[in-house]
A and B are shown apart, each in its own frame.
Chain A
């Protein structure tokens, strides 16, 4: 079956702009989580959506937001971009979420803010 698809793969934006990233989970998966990965901070949890509701949220400013649609596809939005937002953004899908369920990651979107 198809894996987790993230689009676009690469993106260059200017400081102050906003950006929307997309994640299509594995068919049948209802949980989508988003992460930011940087060399300095490692992999950090942004938020998780389950059945269109945000179920969990990490410690990121309100400029980072997300949503999930009825088909489980999810989008992440970052407003007023800062240089420090340059990172690899990963999404992961799982059937029901929860600690022991396997999460399948996409290849990520590499965002560069200039």
Chain B
């Protein structure tokens, strides 16, 4: 059974700090997706990574796919209060989701 484990489960930081969250698996995935979900809303796609070793940037967010395509990371530079939310990684044709990292950025 393919599983995606995310860490940390919860992160509370001050505005302006940098952070990294992780998505790990013992299985190889053809691609991984990252979503952000805000309270009362459905998840919104941030990025899809496909190639091992790939790095994608979305403004202050940097996503990396591991060389072996078993893990991925999301790095946020100079976090803002608007980054607050639940960050989810997904794979397996969007049938497998990690439990998420709940990020709270304090002003």
User: How many A-B pairs fall under 8 Å by CB?
Assistant: 52
Number of interface residues of B (CB under 8 A): 22
Tell me whether A107 and B40 are in contact (CB under 8 A).
yes
A81 at the B interface (CB under 8 A): no
Q: Which among B12-20, B58-66, B73-81, B91-99 touches the partner chain?
A: B91-99
Tell me whether B45 and A103 are in contact (CB under 8 A).
yes
Contact A100 to B31, CB < 8 A, known contacts A43-B97, A44-B97, A45-B96? yes
Contact surface of B with A, Cβ cutoff 8 Å: 30-31, 40-45, 48, 50, 88, 90-100
**What are 14 A-B interface contacts by the 8 Å CB criterion?**
A35-B97, A42-B88, A42-B98, A43-B88, A43-B90, A43-B100, A45-B96, A56-B95, A99-B30, A100-B50, A105-B41, A106-B42, A107-B40, A107-B41
Q: Which among A12-20, A63-71, A72-80, A90-98 touches the partner chain?
A: A90-98
| Nearest CB of B to A55, in Å | 9
| Nearest CB of A to B26, in Å | 18
| Nearest CB of A to B86, in Å | 9
Residue of B nearest to A110 (CB): B40
What are the 9 closest A-B residue pairs judged by CB atoms, nearest first? A105-B42, A43-B97, A45-B95, A42-B99, A99-B93, A102-B45, A99-B31, A105-B43, A90-B42
User: In the docked arrangement, what's the CA distance between A89 and B99, Å?
Assistant: 16
| A35: chain B residues within 8 A (beta carbon) | 97
A87 at the B interface (CB under 8 A): no
| A22: chain B residues within 8 A (beta carbon) | none
Contact surface of A with B, Cβ cutoff 8 Å: 4, 33, 35, 42-45, 48, 56, 58, 90, 92, 97-100, 102-108
| B41: chain A residues within 8 A (beta carbon) | 105, 107
| A56: chain B residues within 8 A (beta carbon) | 93, 95
| A100: chain B residues within 8 A (beta carbon) | 31, 48, 50
